[in-house]
Structure 1
Amino acid sequence: MKLTNEQIEEFNENGFLLIRNFASEELCNKILEKANYHLDNKIQPIESEQEYLKINEGNITVRRLRQVYDREDVFKEWMTDTKIRPILKQLLNDTPVLTLAHHNSIMTKMPKDSSRTTWHQDRRYWNFENDDLISIWLSLDDEYLDNGLLEFIPKSHKLNLKKEQFDERINFKDNIKENKELINNAVHYNLNKGDIVLFHCKTLHHAHKNNTKKPKISFVYTVKAKANNFIKNTRSDFKEVVLED
């Protein structure tokens, strides 16, 4: 599958692109089955809500299953899907490479116990020669604002943002005037099972907590161009998988 010129322009202009009905219901269900097993058993490595919020509580709520590439064959099957490779190559203008140091994850928004995901850019997670990385977000079931749907600020990947616009955890402050003006431009699109969203690592995004009674579970992984090398002795100096044609 390849993108149209209009889709490429949309991604380059806005910093994200929605593609409907990309993954089959069968694949999504297989991923969900395995993901729920790992979540129910809290199989490490994980990130918990308590860790994220820096609080100490006895009951652990899983926020993210880390390092999913090596957990299950069906996870690896999705991350190395041949159907998406031409799309990623079009957007990167190079052979795509899985970077497995981060965003190699099953993401959750659990009922009641989930927290808000604050406005941020994903560039904070990596150390490469440039910031041209793309994340692929797969909706494993319906996603909408009330259960923690992602919202994006169009064109924010093109902005030269100042250090003062972020807090000490590199979250984009939502309580200062110049940031509020940008946040007012946020958009969202309800997602159905099998939809994917591709977004640039500098595109500002956030998500509310899950206010429903059902868990929201999604899959995210990230690719970079083959020519975009990691910075040695950083967290990005880690295992990679080249996605050749």
Structure 2
Amino acid sequence: MKLTQEQIEQFNKDGFLLIRNFANKELCDEILQKAKIHLENKVEPIESEQEYQRVQDTTVTVRRLRQVYDREKVFQDWMTNKEIRPMLKQLLNDTPVLTLAHHNSIMTKMPKDSTRTTWHQDRRYWNFENDDLISVWLSLDEEYLENGLLEFIPGSHKIDLKKEQFDETISFKDDLPENKELIKNAVHYNLNKGDIVLFHCKTLHHANKNETNNAKISFVYTVKAQNNKFIKNTRSDFKEIILEED
């Protein structure tokens, strides 16, 4: 599958692109079924809500299943999906490469116990020669504001943001007047099972806590251009999968 010129221009302008009904519902259900087993058993490696909040607590609420590529074949099959490769190649202008250092994850917003995800850029997670990375977000069920839907600030990937606009965790400060003006431009689109969102690693985004009684579970992975090399001896110096087209 290939993107239209209009879709490419929209991604380049906004820093994200929504594609409806990309993954079939049977695949989403299979991923969701396997993910729930890992979540219920808290299979390591994980990131907990307590770790994210930086609080000392013996309770463990799973926020993210890490390193999912090697957990289940269906996870691996989705991350190497051949239909999406041409689209990623169009946006990167190069062969896409799956980076497994981070954002190789099942993401959750658990009912009642989830927390807000602060405004941030995903560039904080990686160490590559440039920031030309794209994340692929798969909605495994309905996502909307009340259960922690992602919101984006269009065009924020093109803004030269200053270090002072971020806090010590490299979260975008939402109490600064200049930041508030940007946040006013935030947009969101409710997601259905099988929808995907492609977004640039510099696009500002956030999500509120889950206020519903049901868990929200999503899948995210990230690709880079093949010519974008990792910085040696950093966390990004890690296993990669080249996604060649047939």
- TM-score, normalization by structure 2: 0.99
- Counterpart-to-counterpart distance in 2, 1:175 and 1:50: 23
Partner of 1:161: 161
Partner of 2:177: 177
Instruction: After superposing the two structures, state which structure 1 stretch, 52-61 or 156-165, moved more.
Output: 52-61
The percentage of counterpart residues that share the same residue type is 78
Instruction: Name the amino acid aligned to 2:241.
Output: V
SS of residue in 2 equivalent to 1:70: coil
Distance 2:22 2:87 in 1: 12
Unpaired runs of at least 5, structure 2 = none
CA distance in 1 between partners of 2:56 and 2:230 (Å)? 34
Is 1:130 matched with 2:130?
A: yes
2:36 counterpart residue number: 36
Match of 1:151 in 2: 151
Deviates further, 151-160 or 49-58:
49-58
Partner of 1:14: 14
Instruction: Give the letter aligned to residue 81 of structure 1.
Output: N
SS at match of 1:31: helix
**Correspondence list, 1:1-245, <5 A:** 1-245=1-245
Q: What CA distance in whole angstroms lies between the structure 1 residues aligned with 2:168 and 2:162?
A: 13
CA positional deviation for 1:57: 1.9
- Three-state SS of the structure 1 residue aligned to 2:182 is helix
Q: What is the one-letter code of the residue matched to 1:80?
A: T
- TM-superposed deviation, 1:195: 0.1
One-letter code of the match for 2:190? N
In the alignment, structure 1 segments of 5+ residues that lack a partner are none
Q: CA deviation at 1:58?
A: 2.2
State the Cα deviation string for residues 207-227 of structure 1 (Å, max 9, x = none).
000000000000000000000
Over 6 Å off, 4+ runs: none
User: CA offset at residue 10 of structure 1?
Assistant: 0.1
Report how many aligned residue pairs link the two structures: 245
